[in-house]
Amino acid sequence: MTLPRALRRFWHPVCTAAELAASGIVGTRLLGVPIVVASAEGRLLALHNRCLHRSTMLSAGWVCGDTIQCAYHGWRYDASGACVEIPALPDGPIPSRARVEAYEVTAAHGLVWVRLEPGWPTVVPPHPSWDDPEVHVAVGEPYTWPTSLERRVENFADLAHFAWVHEGTLSSRAAAAPPVPEVRRDGAELVFVYDPPPIASPDGRALVGRSIYRVAVPGTVDIEFDVPGAGRRHLWMTVAPLDADDTEVRCYWTMSRSDDLDGDDGPYLEFQELILEQDRPLIFAQQPRNIPFEPGAELSVRTDRVSIEYRRWLTQIMDAADPDALGLILG
Ligand code: FES
Ligand code: FE
């Protein structure tokens, strides 16, 4: 099975809770599937975003009671996807085929999450600092990049690129040989600790210190920084694959801190945006956008330990034939 196909079994964000709250209904897409999400009478709905009647996107419509109403001729669909009203046929009958696909949907960490395939032992990935009362969470602006979920995660957890892509901000060419961490699995997470090598003069705003990385497979990374004098910091990021072949992603991210609780979020977010701008040209230049999983297609070396373990896990996820097999792989 291909990775994009296997990703259908996992929960992915489809929009922010704020985006949904702004209009009550949002058209979005996940792995090539057009989805309309709506908040109707306090309940979330996620349906295939195409009216069965004349193929108008349901996201052009509105919430009506506990249903979504199509704007073109007023057909209404409930949370199960069943059409419950055809205004042009007040006496019915409603055809039994008048049903669009409905998806599992939930809200967590300020995001709306959807899983396309039910019945798999997968959960919404954790956000370790979201509900922590001692921590302030600054929410970054989501961004869309022409890459795959797996390339985005690899870049986020790549220790060898700091000296090159982030020279002067996170590291230095003098530290080109990164430490090779021990990588272990903890449930559905890949965990490792990064002890940065001594660096002559990183940017004063950089969080350079012992960092605990938790990669919740397949698409979420939390980095907890233990920086002397800086309190507790978390950089959290999750990647949503937008198209069917997983070559475009939308990334959602937060920067949390236990100090400077009343301070302005601006400088914290701006520094991370500077780091993103440094990564951007290299990610945009990667071809193919997906990781090629054929043996030998890319050359790994000893310092690519994290990537090697991540790819090994993704390969196992692709090979999992049934929920029990995937459950074993995800701990
Ligand atoms: Fe939706 Fe006609 S296209 S009701
Ligand atoms: Fe980077």
The Å distance, Cα 208 to ligand 2 centre, comes to 13
Q: Which of 196, 238, 197 is nearest to 215 (CA)?
A: 238
pLDDT tens digits for range 267-292: 999 999 999 999 999 999 999 999 99
Atom number of ligand 1 nearest to Cα 54 = 3
The answer, yes or no, to whether residue 114 has pLDDT greater than 80, is: yes
How close is the Cα of 57 to the center of ligand 1, in Å? 9
Tell me which of 328 and 208 has the higher pLDDT: 328
Q: Which of 88, 79, 107 is nearest to 20 (CA)?
A: 107
Ligand 1 atom 4 nearest Cα: 73
Question: CATH fold of 136-329, please?
Answer: Naphthalene 1,2-dioxygenase Alpha Subunit; Chain A, domain 1 (3.90.380)
Least confident of 29-38, 208-217, 239-248: 208-217
Q: Is the pLDDT of residue 314 over 90?
A: yes
Residue 33 Cα to ligand 1 midpoint, Å, equals 19
pLDDT tens per residue across span 15-44: 999 999 999 999 999 999 999 999 999 999
Ligand with smallest separation from the Cα of 83: 1
Of the chain, the percentage scoring pLDDT greater than 90 comes to 87
**Short-list 269, 156, 138, CA closest to 216:** 156
Nearest CA to ligand 1 atom 2: 73
Q: Measuring CA to CA, which residue among 22, 21, 45, 24 is closest to residue 35?
A: 45
pLDDT at 2: 97
The band of 205, judged by pLDDT with boundaries at 50, 70 and 90, is: confident
Q: Which atom of ligand 1 is nearest to the CA of 58?
A: 1
CB of 42 within 8 A of CB of 65? no
Q: Does residue 266 sit in helix, strand or coil?
A: helix
One-letter amino acid at 292 equals P
Q: How much is the pLDDT for 127?
A: 98
Query: What is the pLDDT, as a whole number, of residue 244?
Result: 98
Q: CATH top-level class for 3-115?
A: mainly beta
Identify the pLDDT of residue 201.
57
28-42, 50-64, 186-200: lowest mean pLDDT where?
A: 186-200
Q: Is the pLDDT of residue 66 over 90?
A: yes
The DSSP 8-state label assigned to residue 102 in this structure reads B
Q: Output the CA 107–ligand 1 centroid distance in Å.
A: 28
Q: What is the mean pLDDT of the chain?
A: 95
In the chain, where the domains are located: 3-115, 136-329
Q: Given CA atoms 294, 239, 27, 131 in this order, what sign does their dihedral have?
A: positive
Question: Which tops the pLDDT comparison, 175 or 254?
Answer: 254
